[in-house]
Amino acid sequence: MTTPTAIRPLPPVQRPAWLTALLLPVLCGVQFIDAFDVAAMGPALPEIQHALGLSPQTLQWVVTAYVLGYGGFLLLGGRLADLFDRKRLLMVALAVFVLASIVGGLATSDTVLIAARFVKGVTAAFTAPAALSILLHTYDDESKRHRALGAFLSISSIGFTGGLVLGGLMAAGTWRLVLLVPAALAMILLALTPAVIPPPKTNDERQRVDVLGALTVTTALLALVYGVSTSSDHGWGSGSTIASLTTAAILVTAFVHIQRVRRAPLVPLTIFRRPGLARGNVTIFLLQGSYIAWQFVATLYLQNAHGWSPLEVGLIFTPGGLLTLLTAQRWAGQVMRRGSWPIATMGMVLMLSGTLWTETLGSLDNILVFGVATVVMGLGFPMSYVGANISAIAGARPQEHGLASGLFIASAQVGSGVILGLVATVLGRSVHPDVADYRAGLAVALTAAVLATVTCLTGLRRGAAPRHPKPWTPDSRAFHSYTQRTVFRPWPGTRPLYVPRTYRRVFESHTRAFPCLTHPGLEDRFAGWCAEKRWRAQAVSASPPIGRHLKQRGISYTEAGRRRLPGREAVGLVGTSP
């Protein structure tokens, strides 16, 4: 019998060093623009309201339209980033983003502005997952990938806080700069993308797109956010609100059924079994919604009730923005070392404290106390965001990174739309909201912050498992039956080798022992057989030295420790004797 040998990779194409150095800044720039564009609109809302003569209900749609397009199309954008040319997808989306920003910046009516904001949200739904997928597929070295991922995730909080500050500065001149400046930044990135981003690998797997699933989930998300948003105009008992929410529920049910029966689903339901993904998405849904709602209420109150200019509102957010800028990258590194949920929980406690401070201590009328709250929340937001983001993405397989990032950002944007819609309903009860109405809006943000903190605490509890679980032993009856039925049968004479390895689940260290297979004199061939026949690219190293040993022989390995075999689910570890 011929034993397959390990597959050796093709030699990498050498690229100029300066192009490689620009790759991460370009990808981070895409993420920065997306976060900046969401936040910068907040301080400019009163100026837009006065310039275009918008009602409070119509003004809310300037924000909601962006969230609607962003959240509605993110799952489709994330899946397309996994299946097709990520570089081309990013370039097309950036080009449309530039055009929509220019149209919105020159708009003279609310209809044109809201439509442009919706298109910008749709394009952001494609740029964000495409940029993250390019990053994760470009950096092969694990340490470099972790550093790049930390920078990419931290730039979101920097862009969001920078948008709050710079948005006020730009709106002090004219609100149109809030839309035109991101267009100029996107044009620079679009010019750099063809040269900086490497071409996709020719052996990337291509699949069909689940068009029916994409249409179903996109329409469901649009109906959900639309139903919540229109409740401020028509009330929760109106026919349009009930019809929208009912449609959303029916379409979500249909989407789940479609994903179960499709061979190539848009969102494989098994992805929700990945550790940390569901909890990370719930956390960002509540965190983003709470922070956007808090910023929306505070901005309107300071400008309408106190007569502040957009510049003054931007300056009050400056201390928190600088704190985010200085600490975001540090928290990404702390997550790598200490785990996602301890950092995310501490961040949510700070976010909850800042929101509670503004709700109960009269800081809406005390600028000094309000400034302290912005500092506390400026520290807590990047901690929670980075922790939840890494938790949601780290457990996904490499071919699922685009989808996982799309799910995460979709959760953030849908959370923004839903919770902001609830706040708009509260503020829309009166033509001229008073302090009591603004406090009621803050109560909605506070409730979301409480729920997000509870979600983080459940993750912290899960992460408190013993760091040294008892490994299987050769005397274990379950292990003996398990291995004889699945793994050892094709290889007589193969013996179990116990090698402790660090299994990073959501970057939290848990030392475990897994069975590692070896055959005297045939280690390379056996590993090649596993990677080529059974596990394909899922051969996993038992320890860093063995991982390098396998990688040198052209065998790709990942952090995924389990792989389904015919009739069984086996541990997918192969390696050599140390």
SS (H, E, C) 409-437: HHHHHHHHHHHHHHHHHHHCCCCCCCHHH
Q: Which helix (H) or strand (E) holds 570?
A: strand 568-571
CA neighbor of 385 nearest in space, from 446, 344, 356 = 344
CB atoms within 10 A of CB 470: 9
Half-sphere CA count of 237, side-chain side, radius 13 A: 0
Helices (H) and strands (E) in the chain, counts: 18, 4
pTM of the full structure = 0.62
Tell me which amino acid residue 383 is.
M
One digit per residue, pLDDT tens: the chain, 578 residues? 444 444 444 444 566 777 777 888 898 898 888 888 877 887 788 888 888 888 766 777 887 788 778 777 877 777 777 677 788 889 999 999 999 999 999 988 888 999 999 999 889 888 887 887 788 777 766 667 667 776 776 677 677 767 877 887 888 788 899 999 999 999 999 999 888 888 776 544 455 667 788 788 878 877 887 787 777 667 777 888 888 889 989 998 998 888 888 777 777 777 777 767 888 889 989 998 888 888 888 887 887 777 777 777 777 877 877 787 777 667 766 776 677 788 888 999 999 988 888 776 555 566 777 788 888 888 888 888 888 888 887 767 766 766 777 788 778 877 877 787 788 777 766 556 667 778 888 888 889 999 999 988 887 765 443 333 333 333 333 333 333 333 323 333 333 333 333 333 322 232 233 333 333 333 333 333 333 333 333 333 333 333 333 333 333 333 333 333 333 222 333 332 22
Distance CA 576, CA 224 (A): 53
Distance CA 137, CA 134 (A): 5
